Amino acid sequence: MKTISTAKSHGGIQGVYSHHSTANNCEMTFAVFVPPQAAERPCPVLWYLSGLTCNHSNVMDKGEYRAAAAEHGVIIVCPDTSPRGDDVADDPDDWQFGTGAGFYLDASEEPYAENYNMYSYVTKELPEIIASEFNADMSKQGIFGHSMGGHGALTIALKNPDRYTSVSAFAPIAEPSKADWSVGALEKYLGNDQSKWREYDTCSLLEDGHNLPEILVDQGAKDDHLVRLAPEALKAACEKAGVALTLNMREGYDHSYFFVSSFMASQIAWHGARLNG
């Protein structure tokens, strides 16, 4: 692991790091905020997954998470959204696919299978680095994210319910197998067999028997992408599966980081109560 930068903030340390990823076969960059409590004891880990077109820096610069993370004593880990580099297969003219749009899955189709393995990266490779390099209590992990990252957080938690104590999302893509900004990516990464898409679709996973005790979602009621995000489909799927969903429709808020940052502290407090309890 290489240290790119560190800065003191709210008594803790905001760092940016890089390493060669075996899962994605390229150099990967990620951000970690370590709260001041980590100087005295191992701290819970809260994973934040970003959305389409983003990398590790968007939430670091605009998410306003450090004060709340310091208050509740949680480490915040912000991975990139996708593999990057000159040798990584990409479609630079399509913002819904390729670099910036890894969709937190493991690709099975060539040429993407060589690099696009964000599911394995987030669930296996990067946690090993966090465990070895930071004073992290890996027995207490939560996960959340925004939009495509909300999709990632929900699907990853549903497939790993024993690992994550808490899961939430900001405006998640609830049914990527049906939304126009994700269907094309799933087809390129996973092929035409739509049964394979179900592994990376929250509503499908719930329908197929995957379960969680509770989910928290904040959704801007003025979001231009409500049809694509399908919060009502998520609500129906959770009701059918018996999952306790708290869906907060936030009046007047859109899809941007102005929305995310407005409810970041409340989501971290929600995670903190469960991770520290």
| Residues carrying an active site annotation | 147, 223, 255
Kindly compute the dihedral angle of the four CA atoms of residues 263, 259, 77, 216, in this order, to the nearest 10 degrees: 50
Cα 201 to Cα 107, 156, 267: the distances in Å are 14, 10, 22
| Tokens 């919060």 belong to residue | 231
Residue count of the chain: 277
Contact 45, 138 (CB under 8 A): yes
Q: DSSP labels for 111-125? A: TGGGT-BHHHIIIII
Pure H helices in 17-147: 56-62, 66-72, 118-120, 126-133
Provide the sign of the torsion angle of the four alpha carbons 220, 265, 67, 134, taken in this order.
Answer: negative
Secondary structure (3-state) at 171:
coil
| Tokens 């480490």 belong to residue | 75
